[in-house]
Each structure stands twice: as C-alpha cells, then as structure tokens.
Amino acid sequence: MKLEDLLNHTSEWLKGTGPNADIVISSRIRLARNLDKIPFPHWANKKQSEETLKTIEEAISKVDYLKNATIFRLATLDGIDKQFLIERHLMSYEHAQKSNSKAVVIDSEEIVAVMINEEDHLRIQVMQSGFNLYEAWNIINRIDDALAKELSFGYLTDWGYLTACPTNTGTGMRGSVMLHLPALVMTRQIERVLAAISKLSFTTRGFYGEGTQATGNFFQISNQVSLGHSEEEIINNINGLIRQIIEQEEQAREMMLARNRPMLEDRIYRSFGILKSAHIISSQETSELLSMVRLGSDLGLLKEIDRRCINELFIITQPAHLQKMEGKKLSTQERDVKRAEIIREKLKCK
Amino acid sequence: MKLEDLLNHTSEWLKGTGPNADIVISSRIRLARNLDKIPFPHWANKKQSEETLKTIEEAISKVDYLKNATIFRLATLDGIDKQFLIERHLMSYEHAQKSNSKAVVIDSEEIVAVMINEEDHLRIQVMQSGFNLYEAWNIINRIDDALAKELSFGYLTDWGYLTACPTNTGTGMRGSVMLHLPALVMTRQIERVLAAISKLSFTTRGFYGEGTQATGNFFQISNQVSLGHSEEEIINNINGLIRQIIEQEEQAREMMLARNRPMLEDRIYRSFGILKSAHIISSQETSELLSMVRLGSDLGLLKEIDRRCINELFIITQPAHLQKMEGKKLSTQERDVKRAEIIREKLKCK
C-alpha cells in the first residue's frame, strides 16, 4: 500500500456506521507497550532504537491480523506525508516531530495503526466507527496477544505494563470516544457536561487530540487513569459515561427541535448553502458549517447528503490532505480556494 | 384592474432593461401641479379637497395615455394595500398617512402613477427601466399637456408652476435615477461620491425615497432645485452627473475584478447560496445579499439568474407584498419565514 492509496479510501472511523453513529463518530482503544530489555525511547541510544524498530517490525510481520498492514518508516516521509497521517488520526503529532528509528504501521482498512518508538516502544491503536469500544478491545487484544508471543514486554506483577510516562502504567490502555455534541453546545449545556467529565477523571480533547481545541463541536473523551483498574473496568467506566452524554445530547436535540425548529432548520440549511457555494473557505469555518450539516443529516432534515460524505469532508479538507490531492505545497490562500472547490465538488455529486 | 393583479406583474422600472441597466435600475420624472382656483391640499377644506379629487379624476379619464389606468381612492384601501403601493414606488409614504379625498392613479404597465391631493393637488410620475430620463420626460410631457387642456394650473410667468413647497416651484419637476453602486461601496469610494453629489445640489436617498437609508447599495439621486432652470437643463444636469457616477462604478467593478476576483466571487456565490437555502431571513439581509447577487449577474459571474428576477425579488420580499401574497396579516417572524420561502422558490425556478 502507498500513502496516496489512502486518499481514495474511507477510514474505518469515518464510515459513519456502528452504534449511535448520529452522536458518536468513533471509538478508539490504544495500548502502550515496551520491550523489557531496551530503555524507553527517550533514553535509548541510536543503536538501541534501531534494534527496537527492527525487532518490532519483524514481530508485526508475523501477526496474522496485520498481514495487510504496511510499515512506513518516518525517515521516508516528508512533512506533508506526516501531517497527512496525523490528520487521518493514524499518527500522533509528537511522533511526527523526529524521524530517526521511528515508524508507523497501518492496515489497509485503517482500523489498526501502530507507532514504533513514540513515547513508548509500541503504541497500538484500534479504531471503530460509532460507539463500539468492546469491538475495538476485541481486535486490540488479538493483536496484543499475537505480539506478546514474539516480543517480551516490560511488565511487573504489582504494577502491570511499564510505560515511559507513569500515567500509562498498569494496563497501558486508553479508551477514547469522539463525540459530536452540537446541541449541547448550542443550548449552552456543554460547560456543565465537560466540568462533570473532568471531575470523574476523564479528559476532553478536540478533534486532533492532545492540546487541540474543540472545533466543529467535536469532543474526544478518554480515561485519564490507567493504573489500578482492569481493562474491563476502564472500558465499562468510559462506556457508562458516554452513554449518559449521548442521552443528554439526544435530549438537547429534541428540545431544540421542539422549541425552535425553524431557527435550527435555518441554521442547518444556511450552513449547507454556504458550503455548496463558497469559493474561499477556512478550515475553521468548514468545521463549523460541516458540524451543522452533520446535525441536519442526523436529524433527518438534510436528506441530500449522508453521514459518510460529511465525515470524509472533515478529513479531506485538512491542509495536508488538500496538498496531497493537489500533489504540491499550497499556501494558506491557495488551500482556502482548493478547500472550497473540493467541498463544492463533493456536495454536488450526491 | 385590481390591486392584486399587480402581484403577477413586473413594474416597468423593475424590468432590468434599458440603457446601462447593469448600474441604473430606473429613471423617474415627476411633476407637481396645482389647480389655480383651490388652495393647496394642506389648506383646502373638506369640500374643496373633494372638488379637487373629482375634477382631477374626471380630467384623467380623458387623457388618452391613461386610458388603461385605474383610480384607487385611498379610502377604499387598507393599511397593507397602501404599504403595497409604497413598496412598488407608486405612492409616497406621506400620501398614505391620511385617506380623505386622496387617490392614486396607476396605469396597467406601472409606467405612470398620479397622486391626487398629496402635498400638491397633482403629483405625476413616470418611470422607465434603466437610464432613460428623456423617454420618461417625453411621456410625462404628453400627460401634462393633455391634463393642461382639462385643468387650469396655478402658474405665474415669473415663477413658473406654483407648488405647496417652494423647493418645487418653477418647473415643478424632479428627475430621479436609482443606481446600484455596490463596487463604489465595497471599495469605500461612495462617501467621496455622495459628498460631491451633495455639493452639486443633488440629493441622495435610499431605495424607499425620502428619509430612508441606502440599503442593498441602492442610491436614488435627484435634483434639489426646480426653480430657475428649464426642464431640459434639469434633465441634462442630472444626466451628466449620472453618467459620471456610472463611469466610476464601472471602474470600481473592473478594479475589483482585476485585483481580487476570487474574494469577489466568493462573496457573490455565498450570497446566492444563502438566499437559496435560508429558512428565516430579514428584509435587510435580503437586500444586502440580493445586491451581491445582482452584481454577480451584472458581471456575468452568476448565469443562473437574470436581472429581472433579482429586481422582482427586491420588491416581492417587502412586508406588504408578502402579506398580499399570503392574503393575511403576518408578524415579523412569520414574514421572515415567508420571505425565505419565496426567495427559495423563485431562485429554484430558473
């Protein structure tokens, strides 16, 4: 698989299918693992890092579930390639900062992505469309078990898996769910909800992970504590919390429809109208308008466009995607024009 | 002719035809005339006003050019009817304030409108689409001559026609031209242009005449002085001024196209997109967006819609028109919804 092949592919997490897909974009589980004989990536020397890379690459090639996966060494990727992978949520921003002895492994369905020599030797992530943490857990378990047969992980009975950062020690697991909460934002309930989430030891992030702001009414919620809980507890906890948030968003949507349907329709149709006609559009405005269009589609008000098409637009209108499609570097102004062009094209075809 | 028949008719001045129709909406000439034997309307008693009304109605029925005209006595019209005529520029706001002994005469093409017992006994107006003051003058001259055969007008050799307000004394003529000047507004040259106009003893008004603000980049320019100039001088003066403004607007349009075409296109297409999709829209926003759409059509950027259709939308989206179409009184909120509905319908059909 070449990186460019992904351009014509819809990532698993953008399919818009799965349980509660009207509110939950995707579910993600990631595991942090480290080889027991080599220092953590930040402490390893060049030789040790290279050894880690080769050892893990070899192990991955033996995992049945990953036989359709491709290993991309970061040294072979340019800046746009790396940003492209970040935009597709296949690689972290931190991983892209340095290239030496680093790689990312991606399966052809974009369900699994493995980062080698990120903060930990191994960061395995499994994505599922919709609210589907258990299925993601099933898949990641099989991969983890298969890798454990090939590799010896740092593990202490009292502590569990050892990780570079103590917050990941224990299960090394993080469960994250990406939610689309426009109604909670529009009815000004979101602050209250986010405050409650943070009290319960969960963290909220924006669409692009750690340090990013919530744009387009997207909120990524993950567990903060990995130590002292079993994998099942972690998933059950986050599952229970997400179920409550889904319910609140549903109620907020119903309330808006009941109390001010014309205003809501106006906002949704206008957003759709602007996206279909703009000739210059920023990334920020695109997210905001697409969020309204997605809400319109989810409420059955906008029938001309499906969820998958909207989800794809969120991704392909990002800077690196635009540049990959155009096959060259583009300035901000050029991207704003290209972005508008692609949106118009995409919204016409259906 | 019934008032409602006008709903399915495009007024002469909205046809979007005639010279320089890309910048000049319409040309208008109006004459003020008074009967010499009866005091001006504000000073006349009830009996005198009734006599004026009947005398003029009778005279009008004998004018060949007005054989297809209908006389509407204001006492037979309700508030929405009157506002409807104001919106169509067939009657002044002042004329509508009281109904006693007042009438308005409208020909079926809406080229001619005559107000009886407004500020003067007779206010005759002739409208032409585009930049066409001379044709308007030709028509109004024929009507004035025909009426002069039936009526005896107040006239002094040294002063000319006598009028209730001294600013109209002399020819009693006012020439007005309605201009669409979006490029001068967008390039911030309009203040300079308006200041120059006012120094030259011309007045500028908005779309709805005296006391109204310029919305949708429309400016109505008329001569201020009627005394001491011949009709021909007045028309030549205003014609010369308008020709200069047209030239400046044309240059500003060319400059915008040359310097920032993508920004201009974006603004025009977005305006069109919002009009096609909004479900709630105010009168003010409608004017602003239609102005951009009209510019787009005039520049050949928007081919899906013609000038006549845009001009009609400016008028039929006004409050009284919406209520006439709906056949009942509508609140502001209801009008904003109905307005959006009509715009969507109209922009779909072509």
Q: Within chain A, what is the greatest distance between any pair of CA atoms?
A: 65
In percent, how much of chain A has pLDDT > 90?
A: 77
- Say whether A263 and B280 touch across the interface (CB within 8 A): yes
Task: Encode pLDDT of A68-99 as tens digits.
Answer: 899 999 999 999 999 999 999 999 999 999 99
In a domain, B259, yes or no: no
Q: Are B175 and B131 in contact (CB under 8 A)?
A: no
In a domain, B268, yes or no: no
In a domain, B13, yes or no: yes
Task: Encode pLDDT of A36-75 as tens digits.
Answer: 999 999 999 999 999 999 999 999 999 999 998 999 999 9
| Dist CA B228 CA A350 (whole Å) | 67
In a domain, B266, yes or no: no
In a domain, B118, yes or no: yes
Task: Encode pLDDT of A172-213 as tens digits.
Answer: 999 999 999 999 999 999 999 999 988 888 888 876 555 555
In a domain, B8, yes or no: yes
Average pLDDT value for chain A? 92
pLDDT at B210 over 70: no
Residues of B in contact with A274 (CB under 8 A): 270, 273-274, 277
- The residue of chain A with its CA nearest to that of B279 is A266
Q: Is the dihedral of CA A292, A296, A298, A299 positive or negative?
A: positive
Residues 6+ apart with CB under 8 A from B326: B338
**Which of the residues A259, A279, A347 would you substitute to probe the B interface, choosing the one with the greatest number of B C-beta atoms within 10 Å?**
A279
Smallest Cβ distance to B270: which of A262, A277, A337?
Answer: A277
- Say whether B274 and A279 touch across the interface (CB within 8 A): no
Task: Encode pLDDT of A289-327 as tens digits.
Answer: 999 999 999 999 998 888 888 989 999 999 999 999 999
In a domain, B346, yes or no: no
Interface predicted TM-score (ipTM) of this complex, two decimals = 0.83
Q: How confident is the model at residue B349 (pLDDT cuts 50, 70, 90)?
A: very low
Q: How many folded domains does chain A comprise?
A: 1
Q: Which amino acid is at B284?
A: Q
State the residue range of the domain holding B71: 3-249
- Say whether B279 and A262 touch across the interface (CB within 8 A): yes
Indicate which CATH number applies to the domain containing B231.
3.30.590.10
Residues of B in contact with A269 (CB under 8 A): 277-279
3-class SS at A5? helix
Q: Are B294 and B287 in contact (CB under 8 A)?
A: no
Residue A350: its pLDDT value, please?
46
| Dist CA A32 CA A59 (whole Å) | 16
| Dist CA B346 CA B340 (whole Å) | 10
Q: For residues B300-323, give the mean pLDDT.
A: 91
Least confident of B99-103, B167-171, B335-339: B167-171
In a domain, B199, yes or no: yes
Residues 6+ apart with CB under 8 A from A70: A1, A105, A106, A107, A108
Q: Is the dihedral of CA B275, B276, B277, B278 positive or negative?
A: positive
What's the predicted TM-score (pTM) here? 0.88
B1: distance to nearest CA of chain A, Å?
38
Where is pLDDT greater, at B166 or A38? A38
- Say whether B274 and A274 touch across the interface (CB within 8 A): yes
